[in-house]
Amino acid sequence: MTRTAVITGGASGLGEACARRFAAEGARVWILDANAARAADVAGDIGDGARSAGVDVTDEAALLAVAERIEGDTGAPDILVTSAGILETVATVMDEDMDIHDRVWAVNYRGTVSSCRAFGRQMRAAGRGAIVTIGSVNSFSALPLPAYGPSKTAILRLTQILSVELGRHGVRVNAVAPTYVITPAMQARIDAGERDPAVIRASGALDMLVMPRHIADVVAFLCSDAAAAITGVTLPVDAGYAAAVSYKSFAGGLPWKA
């Protein structure tokens, strides 16, 4: 049976990589994004029945309307990836622009909740489905991103809650927690001097830069039958960042030159 995959934030970055990966597996892909023109371009480039809709995930009414349209066209989705999200620059809690803070929370957390409500209800009624939310290394550790970090920590707990709410209805809910990924948004910050790729490479256990396709591979796994017994998990895809941060900061020194 051909699966239907809905990807929010699917016009670029992690979302686009996921859309392309699921399309390559033969899924019908719906690309949702606030940038309607870019979403349409990506869908057109993918072809094979890929479709798009312009929608801002902070607008729950618009999401519900799109969900109704999708269900009418292709039935309840089998897969939902909530990739819509925005970054912020380094700041302190004391000095952060609260308008930026509220926008980050509106997109990253409220947008994820609204997306899961809109499509999770359809999956619940159908008795099947797999949802993957997008957390972050910030879900596990404190970094100087006072809106982004807590919003991604909230995604971890939301994922656990949803896994229990929807599990008895045949719907699995997991999250991936990427490290720094070289998305267009991250590349723009690198180009602006706000991020250092050498520091990013050195932050993990593996000497590599994580690309969107690496995240898409794991998302595809979590939505596959191979992950049938996995739910409520936030899986780091971090090139060993979580292990390396504590290891490399050991006050007693390192047995080798990191």
SS3 (DSSP) at 118: helix
| 109, HSE (Cβ side, Cα atoms, 13 Å) | 19
Q: Per-residue pLDDT for 243 more than 60?
A: yes
148 classed as catalytic: yes
pLDDT over 70 at 258, yes or no? no
Four-CA torsion 151, 70, 77, 231, nearest 10 degrees: 10
Mean pLDDT of 118-131: 98
The CATH architecture of the domain made up of 4-181+210-240 is 3-Layer(aba) Sandwich (3.40)
Report H helices in 127-175: 148-167
Strand ranges, E, within 129-245:
129-134, 171-178, 234-237
User: Looking at residue 189, what is its pLDDT?
Assistant: 84
Nearest CA to 103 out of 154, 133, 58 is that of 58
pLDDT tens per residue, range 145-154 = 999 999 999 9
3-state secondary structure of 56: coil
Please report, for the chain, the start and end positions of each structural domain, with discontinuous segments joined by +: 4-181+210-240
> Of the listed 148, 180, 241, 247, which one is catalytic?
148
Beta bridge partners of 189: none
User: CA-to-CA distance for 11 and 52, rounded, in angstroms?
Assistant: 9
